[in-house]
Amino acid sequence: MTDTTAGGHGFETHAYDVVVIGAGGAGLRAAIAAHDAGARTAIVCKSLLGKAHTVMAEGGIAAAMGNLYADDNWQVHFRDTMRGGKMLNNWRMAQLHAQEAPDRVLELETWGALFDRTKDGLISQRDFGGHRFARLAHVGDRTGLEMIRTLQQHAVALGIDVYMECTVTDILKDGDRVSGAFAYWRESGRFLVFETPTVVLATGGIGKSYQVTSNSWEYTGDGHALALHAGASLINMEFVQFHPTGMVWPPSVKGILVTESVRGDGGVLKNSEGRRFMFDYIPDFFRGETAETEEEADRWYDDKKNNRRPPELLPRDEVARAINSETKAGRGSPHGGVFLDIASRREADFIRRRLPSMYHQFKELADVDITAEPMEVGPTCHYVMGGVEVDADTGASIVTGLYAAGEVAGGMHGSNRLGGNSLSDLLVFGRRAGLNAAYYVGRLGSKRPKVADDAVKAAAEHALAPFSEEGGENPYTIQQDLQDVMQRLVGIIRKRDELTESLEELAKLRERARHLTVEGHRQYNPGWHLALDLSNMLRVSECIAQAALVREESRGGHTRDDFPKPDDTWGSKNLVLTETGGEISLNEQSLPVMPDELRQLFEEK
């Protein structure tokens, strides 16, 4: 480590083979893989280690281990995943994911994870929306915590360097190749330069651009924006998942996630008339595998062979839209949601044992006892399917040396992600990205890219820009206005004139953000941090709105009021976004073609 000055701004320098940005499931798994492959590896994360958004995942990790249903296998999981994504998924990613997830789960157990067990002592698996069999390895309803703690403890035991509360603001390049990353310490505001031929983006999602979201403050689309700026492409950005069940009351907790496990474990959705309304919203695409009567749906929990799945367990996009329609039709709950009832369907003991965090969360934050009364729930912005376009096998973006894994990568989930497929995605593709970054460094030999002084100087000036203007606007106000625009105009149901309006509004916000003012100094200053995050949020929001305007159909996490049906022509195309000279451009691109042996899986019932 050396202390240097460039353009008058001091910074420290660190050299690595692989720098992973983000310490959630994907980042930790990537770092472990890169380390195991012999690369000098560092993790750089915005928060303390172990606090990343993965910690909030509740339901479980989808993996066709067949511990409860011997008929489950990767082909069934692959098929469920593709159908859940309305066939827009990158087939190769969905295949690798389904094939490798079981090994990744067993690996966690070898590193100390304590999953719930079956009677035979194997890892237990639970039901979730869109999955034909009970498939989610879980620990009560705090699976994400178990996963992040296991990976964190393993990474610490391996001695991987971790730069906590450290934020990357620029990817540095030498010609066409990645040469490093520029960052600041939260605590001191001082700068760091990482000299590294590879960067693995594992920065998660974009939810903080919306008003009602289950995402934490870190979810500001940093990786998406860094990738675009470095010359990589984004795909599927129009697809944003609104989780059907977020808390709606009291206002301060609006958006906090209510796990799908409530429905997986027997909970049902009801409107103000007491009707299980999901039976009214079964789409033709899923009719063959969905129960038509309450009796059949209730029998399914114990006998999956002879009964079909309850409609409450349709993929998330279907359920979220249904809830939206019910509340719009005036059949909502007192606080603008619908009722999620497990109290009348399962014993109190069972609920407390299977859903301890939900019990605690409602009791503490809403004075609701979920073993005695229904919850009120409504859609909340939860996940972005879109992300960096990557090679399925390696996680490599189109920029040499830049990799992406987890939520920040696109393609795996198509137009809609199934519950439980996120945690497995993090493990499978985190590992692949980390390994392949390390392999690339091995192949480089002595031809390592160099960090240029002027690039560092430019990065420092970019980071300090928010301090340069006086009398400008407060970044918090601009963020609130951005959230309002995205929620109102680019939300769960979209239409052309609103999307057009959103792009105009976003342009105004961008202009306002150029003239914001930050109080105080560089030491642990949240106003400054927000000002930097805000430019990422604005960039990503623009990508979402642009792609949403162009895709004239409804599919998965993209619903157009003016084009309410899926369209086969659109069903074979991705929208690809790139940045040139500070402007976003958008192109259509054909989906990769699935080989026949996989295609056959969709012809059988």
Q: Which of 200, 366, 385, 506 binds another protein (CB under 8 A)?
A: 366
Q: Is position 153 an interface residue for another protein (rule: CB under 8 A)?
A: yes
Q: Which residues are catalytic?
A: 243, 263
User: b/e per residue, 246-263, with b = 16+ CB within 10 A?
Assistant: bbbbeeeebbbbbbbbbb
Least Cβ distance, residue 112 to another protein (angstroms): 4
Residue among 469, 465, 455 nearest 534 (CA): 465
Within positions 214 to 253, which residues make up the interface with another protein, using CB under 8 A?
A: 216-218, 249-253
Closer by beta carbon to another protein, 522 or else 558: 522
- Binder among 259, 361, 380, 541 for another protein (CB under 8 A): 361
List the one residue out of 403, 382, 418 whose CA is nearest residue 181. 403
Residue 472 CB neighbour total at 10 angstroms: 17
Q: Count how many residues are written for the chain.
A: 605
Q: How many residues bind another protein (CB under 8 A)?
A: 66
Q: Is residue 350 a contact point for another protein (CB under 8 A)?
A: no
Q: Can you tell me which of 106, 452, 458, 503 binds another protein, judged by CB under 8 A?
A: 106
Q: Figure out which of the listed residues 163, 182, 242, 528 binds another protein, where binding follows CB under 8 A.
A: 528
Contacts of 191 (CB under 8 A, 6+ apart): 9, 10, 11, 12, 182, 183, 184, 185, 460, 463
User: Of residues 5, 71, 109, 372, which one binds another protein by CB under 8 A?
Assistant: 109
For residue 200, the cross-strand partners are: 20, 403
Position 524 contacts another protein (CB under 8 A): yes
Minimum CB distance to another protein smaller for 215 or for 421: 215
DSSP helix/strand/coil, 556: coil
- CA dist., res. 485 & res. 545, Å (int): 10
DSSP annotation of 549: H
Q: Please report how close the Cβ of residue 178 comes to another protein at its closest, in angstroms.
A: 28
User: Exactly one of 4, 5, 71, 157 binds another protein (CB under 8 A); which one?
Assistant: 157
Give least dist CB 365 to another protein, A.
7
Q: What do you get for the CA distance between the two ends of the chain, in Å? A: 60
- Of 112 and 274, the one with the shorter C-beta distance to another protein is 112
CB of 132 to another protein, least distance (A): 22
Report DSSP letters for 212-239, one per residue: SBS--TT-S-HHHHHHHHHT--EE-TT-
The reply on whether position 257 binds another protein by CB under 8 A is yes
**Residues 132-151 close enough to bind another protein by CB under 8 A:** 139-140, 142, 145-146, 149
Are residues 540 and 556 in contact, defined by beta-carbon separation less than 8 angstroms? no
Q: Can you tell me which residue has the tokens 């392999």?
A: 439
Tell me if 408 sits within 8 A of 437, measured CB to CB. Answer: no
DSSP per residue, 494-542: B-HHHHHHHHHHHHHHHHHHTTB---S-STT-HHHHHHHHHHHHHHHHH
Out of 493, 525, 573, 586, the only residue in the binding site for another protein (CB under 8 A) is 525
Report the site for another protein in 474-513 (rule: CB under 8 A): 474-477, 480
Contact between 256 and another protein per CB under 8 A: yes
From the CB of 312, what's the least distance to another protein, in Å? 23
3-state secondary structure at position 442: helix
Output the smallest distance, CB 591 to another protein, in A.
35
Contact set with another protein (CB under 8 A):
47-53, 55-56, 106, 109-112, 114-117, 120-124, 139-140, 142, 145-146, 149, 153-154, 156-157, 164, 187, 216-218, 249-253, 256-257, 357, 360-361, 364-366, 474-477, 480, 518-521, 523-528
